[in-house]
Chain A
């Protein structure tokens, strides 16, 4: 932990709605949260969307959740993160909702049908 944990510039993190974090940076409860975090960071770095657009999309998801009366205790922060990411990915034409849904089902199916002890992999059907 002597190195910067993410190499994500601090000002980028500061531009977001408050992240679950401690003095050293973002904290995650489960691996998917870190994966979702990494996706947003890298998609932005590759120029698929500006970081400001990302911060805005995330803030909108959080605001929408609050408007729905969902408690803002931070526990669902990364759920909203994923929703914002899906929305932005679709808006920017990087993928579409049907493809994402189909892929999700394909993964679920792959888990259901992969015997124990073997890596879960998608069959290439497309």
Chain B
């Protein structure tokens, strides 16, 4: 179902590293199975995950994606200048964090609003996120699959990237600092309910929490529930309500005040 319209595989030689990736992923995958009720779903996904991160390995060890040359140049500048105390890392983060809304959650919000008002689009979105988001032209140039997971009265979805900070930039913009933190990355799978509680979302015990681990190949987007009190709103008005956090799954969309 996700096989149409994407071209991530040609970016790198993903396939040959998949077995190595599977071994490397065994530990976090196990945590998920123990801690969430949705073991089968996660198993299926963990398998996909191994393809995403198990790419291009020629040796018997696993390692992380090497960023692009330009991203490494920025990283080099940043780390050298921080080390020499010519610039304050917190101040840099503050600027970047202030821009986290600047490149995209509007796109994701429009996707969500469309799904709320157009059942046909919603069906297509959940069946094949890549194609449906492509209808709105929000795929960006990265070519990864998009999988959209819907919250319901009985299921709450949360996205994370345990391994690095894979994030659906074209729809959600820059990842917030907390998303990239090792604490969020580790704890989101180990104790998602507690993490959600810290974000101010106290889910009833009978709501199942599903944690989706993003990869270089598959990015997730949470389709939050349409809040009550919005029956008369237009698609544009609805899009204004949708927050980044609700599409990561750490918040609900609030009713209009």
Q: How far does the Cβ of A80 sit from chain B's closest Cβ, in whole Å?
A: 11
Which of these, A5, A48, A108, A111, contacts B102 with CB under 8 Å? A5
The 6 A-B pairs at the shortest CB distance, nearest first, are namely: A38-B95, A103-B76, A104-B76, A32-B71, A111-B66, A32-B74
A: which residues have CB within 8 A of B?
1, 3, 5-8, 24-32, 34-39, 41-43, 45-46, 48, 78-79, 82, 85-86, 89, 94-95, 99-101, 103-104, 106-108, 111-117, 119-120, 122
- Residues of A within 8 Å of B63, CB to CB, are 111-116
A-contacting 9-mer, from B23-31, B127-135, B204-212: B23-31
The answer to whether B76 touches A31, judged by C-beta atoms less than 8 angstroms apart, is: no
Q: How far does the Cβ of B67 sit from chain A's closest Cβ, in whole Å?
A: 7
Interchain Cβ contacts under 8 Å between A and B, 21 examples? A24-B102, A28-B99, A29-B169, A32-B75, A34-B174, A38-B93, A39-B74, A39-B81, A41-B95, A43-B81, A79-B70, A86-B77, A89-B77, A94-B86, A95-B80, A108-B72, A112-B63, A114-B64, A116-B64, A117-B24, A117-B28
| Interface flags, B94-121, vs A, CB<8A=1, else 0 | 1110110111000000000000000000
The answer to whether B102 touches A116, judged by C-beta atoms less than 8 angstroms apart, is: no
- Residues of A within 8 Å of B81, CB to CB, are 39, 43, 89, 94-95
| Interface flags, B35-59, vs A, CB<8A=1, else 0 | 0000000000000000001000000
- Residues of B within 8 Å of A82, CB to CB, are 70, 73-74, 77
From B28, B72, B98, B99, name the one whose CB has the most chain A CB atoms within 10 angstroms.
B99
Contacts A111-B63, A114-B63 given: A35-B87 contact, CB under 8 Å? no
A104 to B81, CA, bound (A): 13
The answer to whether B77 touches A100, judged by C-beta atoms less than 8 angstroms apart, is: yes
The B contact surface, by secondary structure, is helix
**A35: nearest chain-B partner, CB-CB:** B74
Q: How far does the Cβ of B256 sit from chain A's closest Cβ, in whole Å?
A: 16
Contacts A28-B103, A82-B73 given: A115-B61 contact, CB under 8 Å? yes
> Does B163 reach chain A (CB closer than 8 Å)?
yes
From B27, B69, B75, B93, name the one whose CB has the most chain A CB atoms within 10 angstroms.
B75
The answer to whether A39 touches B87, judged by C-beta atoms less than 8 angstroms apart, is: yes
The answer to whether A31 touches B174, judged by C-beta atoms less than 8 angstroms apart, is: yes
Contacts A7-B98, A29-B103, A117-B28 given: A111-B67 contact, CB under 8 Å? yes
> Does B79 reach chain A (CB closer than 8 Å)?
yes
Which of these, B65, B79, B95, B182, contacts A111 with CB under 8 Å? B65
> Does B92 reach chain A (CB closer than 8 Å)?
yes
- Residues of B within 8 Å of A27, CB to CB, are 102-103
A46 to B28, CA, bound (A): 42
A112 to B164, CA, bound (A): 13
- Residues of B within 8 Å of A6, CB to CB, are 95, 98-99
Q: How far does the Cβ of A6 sit from chain B's closest Cβ, in whole Å?
A: 5
A29 to B102, CA, bound (A): 9
